C-alpha cells in the first residue's frame, strides 16, 4: 500500500502525486518504485496495493489505451481489468480482507484532462463496489492509501493555490513524519490542456 494525493482545479488542471516507497514486512524494499504512470498525453494512473498484481494491472491497462482512447473508455477498461485481477488475487488469498480489514489489494486513481470537453478531473476506484469509476470534475482534494484521513485533515489547512505542488509535497513530508511506510521519491504529474508536466522530489528520510 502507498499514498496518492489528487487535487482538481476544474477546467484548468489536475495534479496527481504518489510516493515511491515499497515495504515488505517492516523493511523498505524500494524508495523509487514507479506507481504513477503516464497512459497518454492527458491521462495518468496511480496504482498501489499488492505490488505484483499492481504491475499486472498497469501492464494490461497500458496495452489497451492509446492517444485515441477517451477518458470514458479508459474508465471502463480500468474497471474491467481491476475486477479480473482482483478476483485472481482473492482466489489465491481468500483471507486477505479478513487479515487486512482496512487494506486494499488494488488502490487506483486516474487523473485526466479531456481536451474535447475542456475539463479536468480524477477517477477513484474501490474493490468494495466492484471498482465502479467515481468521477470528480469539481474543485476537490482527495487522498487514497496510507494515512489518507490525515492528508484530508492536513492538506486543506496548508494548501496554497499559488504553490500547489509545494503544498502537496508538504503533505507528503508531513505524513512521512507520522508513518515511515510513506516516503521515498514523490512523483507529481500536472495535467492540463497542454499535456502532462512531470516533477520528481526526493523526500527526506
Q: Name the pTM for this structure.
A: 0.94
How far apart CA 179 and CA 56 sit, in angstroms, is 27
Query: Residue 25 pLDDT more than 90?
Result: no
On average, the pLDDT of the chain sits at 93
Q: Are 167 and 155 in contact (CB under 8 A)?
A: yes
Task: Compute the average pLDDT of residues 91-95.
Answer: 96
Half-sphere exposure of residue 26: CA atoms within 13 angstroms, side-chain side:
0
Domain boundaries, the chain: 3-202
At which residue does the C-alpha cell 500536472 appear? 190
3-202 adopts what CATH topology?
3.60.20
Helices vs strands, H then E, count in the chain: 5, 12
Q: Confidence class of residue 84 from pLDDT cuts 50, 70 and 90?
A: very high
Tens of pLDDT, residue by residue over 174-201, are 999 999 888 899 999 999 999 999 999 9
Amino acid at each position: 500500500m502507498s499514498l496518492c494525493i489528487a487535487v482538481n482545479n476544474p477546467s484548468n488542471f489536475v495534479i496527481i502525486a504518489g510516493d515511491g516507497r515499497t515495504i515488505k514486512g517492516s523493511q523498505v524494499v524500494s524508495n523509487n518504485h514507479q506507481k504513477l504512470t503516464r497512459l497518454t498525453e492527458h491521462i495518468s494512473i496511480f496504482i498501489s496495493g499488492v505490488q505484483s498484481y499492481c504491475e499486472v494491472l498497469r501492464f494490461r491497462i497500458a496495452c489497451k489505451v492509446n492517444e485515441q482512447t477517451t477518458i470514458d473508455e479508459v474508465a471502463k477498461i480500468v474497471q474491467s481489468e481491476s475486477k479480473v485481477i482482483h478476483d485472481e488475487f482473492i482466489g489465491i488469498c481468500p483471507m486477505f480482507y479478513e487479515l487486512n480489514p482496512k487494506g486494499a489489494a488494488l488502490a487506483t486513481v486516474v487523473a485526466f484532462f479531456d481536451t474535447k470537453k475542456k475539463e479536468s478531473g480524477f477517477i477513484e476506484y474501490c474493490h468494495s463496489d466492484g471498482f465502479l469509476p467515481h468521477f470528480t470534475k469539481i474543485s476537490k482534494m482527495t487522498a487514497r492509501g496510507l494515512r489518507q484521513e490525515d492528508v484530508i485533515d492536513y492538506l486543506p489547512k496548508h494548501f496554497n493555490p499559488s504553490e500547489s505542488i509545494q503544498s502537496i509535497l508538504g503533505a507528503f513530508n508531513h505524513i512521512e513524519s507520522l508513518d515511515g511506510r510513506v516516503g521515498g521519491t514523490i512523483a507529481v504529474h500536472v495535467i492540463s490542456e497542454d499535456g502532462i508536466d512531470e516533477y520528481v522530489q526526493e523526500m527526506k528520510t
